[in-house]
């Protein structure tokens, strides 16, 4: 991961989303020499950019410098499924352990409200990123999957969430929304919007600069220390240094076991014609998940395509984050097959783009934001696969923490540390590969037998997910 490559080609190599941005984003100058700042943010993904945005909205006089090893939106933020989901990774019991039941619910309400917050800011800043709030569906195609989505809705009720938060749809009510083949039901929640993520990242980078931040691209930070971010071409001394490097955190000195990089792979179809769309329904542009353990996530894009993502390159020894090559033809074929099994009418559909990216998972499988006021070090991330909305909430919370404010956000239970680190290699490699193989086996068995697989349960217990 170095600052190689230029202009349009470099951006388009990140993900198919960038090919929809015309003209391509401009490149920014690297850091050249040392400097001082109030806040130095490492990483120009959603976490870094929303932190810079929130800080400068709160105090326009701050000097904020963002250091990015590649380009704005190079990481997961410019590659993801575009779900702005009113959900946060980590189950409710985990959050209740940290903040009690009321804390868990406060976090849930805060992340739900974040969906509208992103809609509001993108509109106010003129960021055209296809933001559409159509809610989200988890679709069941087997009775076993239906039991799982029913249990999710029941759990919502047990936690005090009402029908305005989630409902169970039967088969016909599901297919009336989206004509998924063989759908027997779904959980529907209104708390989700879809966006074109690269457009959001690029637009946010520009908004942050309009507010006065400086972004240096092609500037890899090698080490973060108290009030310091070190690079090959200079260092930034700052009152606060924010680590917003998510899945790439292992590349920083001393941070190898903080975050596990998990690769996820996506495809985008050709633009579908009006007859296909009228056959599929999908008028509200709901985001969609299938009911498998190793699920696929789907959106109807603003450009008239279907973008679908799921499993990617298996975990690489030593937490390597090499997602810069196209996904294997097997991975693309398997995602395309999954698409066709949901929508058999797309049997001849052409795949126009395939790419992959890395998301970050901490050992506790749930994110955190925090600050150490003595060293000036702050951090945000560990969203697993649910970081598009959560990064906005993290950015607003980090701004309050940095400014020393005591607010509803700084009292949420995810404010703190990321817990235990991952075990060292080769244990990490064996564990992650083993659990993945078990999940895969469980999916195959459950699809075939319509019975909960014991192997799946064991994998769930081992991994805590
Ligand atoms: C394929 C895929 C699909 C996903 N789909 C969804 C979805 O639909 N909805 C959802 O909520 N979440 C989704 N996620 C997760 C979501 O995209 C991420 O959680 C979120 O974008 C994380 O934002 P971030 O800014 O913390 O990290 P990133 O976007 O990864 O940004 C980190 C940045 O730091 C830079 N960097 C790293 N190391 C250094 C260094 N040493 N020096 C300087 N810069 C550095 C990187 O280049 C990168 O730009 C998906 C992720 C992937 C990979």
For residue 205, how far is its CA from the centre of ligand 1 (angstroms)?
14
For residue 206, how far is its CA from the centre of ligand 1 (angstroms)?
18
Is the CB of residue 111 less than 8 Å from the CB of residue 389?
A: yes
Helix, strand, or coil (residue 237): strand
For residue 259, how far is its CA from the centre of ligand 1 (angstroms)?
12
Q: What is the pLDDT of residue 242?
A: 98
Is the CB of residue 264 less than 8 Å from the CB of residue 312?
A: yes
Q: What is the pLDDT of residue 376?
A: 98
Q: What is the pLDDT of residue 465?
A: 55
Atom of ligand 1 nearest to the CA of 312: 1
Atom of ligand 1 nearest to the CA of 244: 26
How far is the C-alpha of 260 from the C-alpha of 361, rounded, in Å?
Answer: 5
Tokens of 54: 């929130």
For residue 49, how far is its CA from the centre of ligand 1 (angstroms)?
11
For residue 359, how far is its CA from the centre of ligand 1 (angstroms)?
6
The residue whose CA has the least distance to atom 10 of ligand 1 is: 386
DSSP 252-273: STT-TTT-EEEEEEEEEEPPPP
Tokens of 395: 């950015």
How far is the C-alpha of 59 from the C-alpha of 56, rounded, in Å?
Answer: 5
Q: CA geometry: angle at 72 spanning 40 and 392, to 5°?
A: 70
Long-range contacts of residues 320-329, Cβ cutoff 8 Å, at least 24 apart: 320/261, 321/1, 321/247, 321/248, 321/250, 321/251, 321/261, 321/358, 323/79, 323/263, 323/356, 323/357, 323/358, 324/1, 324/13, 326/354, 326/355, 326/356, 327/265, 327/354, 327/355, 327/356
The residue length of the chain stands at: 465
* Tokens 């797309």 found at: 346
pTM score, two decimals?
0.93
Among 31, 48, 65, 77, the mutation site with the greatest number of ligand 1 atoms within 8 A of its Cβ is 77
Tokens of 458: 């064991």
DSSP 169-230: EEHHHHHHHB--TT--EEEEES-EEE--HHHHHHHHHHHHHHTT-EEE-S--EEEEETTEEE
The residue whose CA has the least distance to atom 25 of ligand 1 is: 45
Taking the chain (465 residues) in consecutive chunks of 10 residues, what is each chunk's mean pLDDT? Answer: 50 92 94 97 98 98 98 97 97 96 98 98 98 98 94 97 98 98 98 98 98 98 97 97 96 87 95 96 96 88 97 70 81 95 96 95 94 98 96 98 98 92 71 69 70 66 58
Q: For the chain, percent helix, then strand, then coil, each to nearest 5? A: 40, 20, 40
How far is the C-alpha of 348 from the C-alpha of 363, rounded, in Å?
Answer: 41
Among 2, 44, 69, 75, the mutation site with the greatest number of ligand 1 atoms within 8 A of its Cβ is 75
Atom of ligand 1 nearest to the CA of 49: 25
Helix, strand, or coil (residue 395): helix
Q: Which residues line ligand 1 (CB under 6 A)?
A: 42-48, 67-70, 74-77, 79-83, 85, 220-221, 244-248, 251-252, 264, 266, 297, 309, 357-359, 381, 383, 385-389, 391
* Pairing state between β 228-231 and 234-243: antiparallel
Helix, strand, or coil (residue 294): coil
DSSP class of residue 350 equals: P
How far is the C-alpha of 212 from the C-alpha of 233, rounded, in Å?
Answer: 22
Atom of ligand 1 nearest to the CA of 384: 19
Give me the residue spans of the domains in the chain: 7-81+197-257+364-411, 131-194+261-361, 427-463
Atom of ligand 1 nearest to the CA of 389: 11
For residue 43, how far is its CA from the centre of ligand 1 (angstroms)?
9
Q: What is the pLDDT of residue 313?
A: 67
For residue 369, how far is its CA from the centre of ligand 1 (angstroms)?
15
For residue 348, how far is its CA from the centre of ligand 1 (angstroms)?
32
Among 42, 358, 383, 387, the mutation site with the greatest number of ligand 1 atoms within 8 A of its Cβ is 387
The residue whose CA has the least distance to atom 9 of ligand 1 is: 83
How far is the C-alpha of 356 from the C-alpha of 311, rounded, in Å?
Answer: 9
Beta bridge partners of 228: 225, 237
Atom of ligand 1 nearest to the CA of 222: 41
Q: What is the pLDDT of residue 4?
A: 39
Terminal CA-to-CA distance of the chain, rounded, Å?
30
Tell the CATH superfamily of the 7-81+197-257+364-411 domain.
FAD/NAD(P)-binding domain (3.50.50.60)
Atom of ligand 1 nearest to the CA of 46: 25
Phi, psi (rounded to 5 degrees) for 245: -105, 0
For residue 109, how far is its CA from the centre of ligand 1 (angstroms)?
23
Among 73, 309, 359, the mutation site with the greatest number of ligand 1 atoms within 8 A of its Cβ is 359
For residue 425, how far is its CA from the centre of ligand 1 (angstroms)?
24
Q: What is the pLDDT of residue 312?
A: 66
Q: What is the pLDDT of residue 256?
A: 84
Tell the CATH superfamily of the 131-194+261-361 domain.
D-Amino Acid Oxidase, subunit A, domain 2 (3.30.9.10)
For residue 172, how far is its CA from the centre of ligand 1 (angstroms)?
37
Is the CB of residue 259 less than 8 Å from the CB of residue 362?
A: yes
For residue 246, how far is its CA from the centre of ligand 1 (angstroms)?
6
For residue 158, how far is its CA from the centre of ligand 1 (angstroms)?
33
Is the CB of residue 378 less than 8 Å from the CB of residue 242?
A: yes
For residue 248, how far is its CA from the centre of ligand 1 (angstroms)?
9
Q: What is the pLDDT of residue 326?
A: 87
Is the CB of residue 84 less than 8 Å from the CB of residue 382?
A: no
């Amino acid at each position: 991961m170095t600052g190689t490559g230029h202009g349009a080609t470099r951006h388009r190599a990140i993900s198919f989303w960038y090919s929809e941005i015309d003209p391509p984003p401009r490149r920014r100058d690297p850091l050249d020499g040392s400097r001082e700042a109030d806040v130095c943010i490492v990483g120009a993904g959603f976490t870094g950019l929303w932190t810079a945005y929130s800080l400068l909205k709160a105090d326009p006089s701050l000097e904020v410098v963002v250091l990015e090893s590649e380009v704005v939106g190079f990481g997961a933020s410019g590659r993801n499924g575009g779900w702005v989901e009113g959900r946060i990774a980590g189950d409710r019991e985990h959050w209740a352990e940290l903040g009690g039941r009321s804390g868990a619910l406060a976090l849930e309400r805060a992340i739900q409200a974040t969906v509208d917050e992103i809609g509001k800011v993108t509109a106010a800043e003129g960021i055209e990123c296809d933001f559409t709030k159509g809610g989200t569906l988890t679709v069941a195609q087997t009775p076993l999957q239906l039991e799982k989505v029913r249990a999710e809705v029941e759990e919502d009720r047990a936690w005090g969430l009402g029908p305005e938060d989630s409902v169970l749809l039967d088969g016909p009510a599901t297919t009336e929304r989206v004509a998924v083949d063989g759908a027997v039901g779904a959980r529907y929640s209104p708390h989700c919007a879809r966006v074109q993520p690269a457009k959001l990242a690029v637009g946010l980078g520009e908004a942050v600069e309009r507010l006065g931040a400086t972004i240096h691209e092609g500037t890899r930070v090698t080490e973060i220390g108290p009030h310091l971010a070190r690079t090959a071409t200079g260092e930034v001394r700052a009152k606060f240094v924010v680590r917003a490097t998510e899945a790439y955190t292992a590349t920083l000195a001393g941070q190898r076991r903080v975050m596990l990089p998990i690769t996820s792979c996506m495809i985008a179809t050709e633009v579908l014609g009006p007859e296909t769309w009228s056959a599929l329904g999908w008028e509200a542009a709901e985001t969609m998940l299938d009911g498998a353990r190793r699920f696929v996530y789907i959106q109807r894009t603003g450009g008239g395509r279907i973008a679908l993502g799921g499993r990617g390159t298996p975990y690489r020894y030593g937490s390597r984050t090499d997602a810069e090559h196209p996904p294997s033809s097997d991975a693309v074929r398997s995602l395309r097959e999954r698409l066709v099994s949901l929508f058999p009418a797309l049997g001849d559909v052409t795949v126009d783009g395939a790419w992959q990216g890395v998301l970050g998972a901490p050992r506790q499988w749930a994110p955190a934001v925090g600050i150490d006021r003595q060293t000036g070090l702050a951090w945000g991330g560990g969203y697993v696969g649910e970081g598009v909305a959560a990064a906005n909430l993290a950015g607003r919370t980090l701004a309050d923490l940095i400014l020393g404010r005591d607010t509803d956000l700084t009292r949420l239970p995810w404010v703190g540390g990321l817990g235990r680190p991952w075990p060292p290699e080769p244990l990490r490699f064996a564990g992650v590969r083993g659990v993945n193989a078990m999940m895969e086996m469980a999916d195959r068995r459950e699809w075939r037998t319509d019975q909960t697989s014991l192997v799946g349960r064991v994998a769930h217990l081992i991994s805590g997910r």
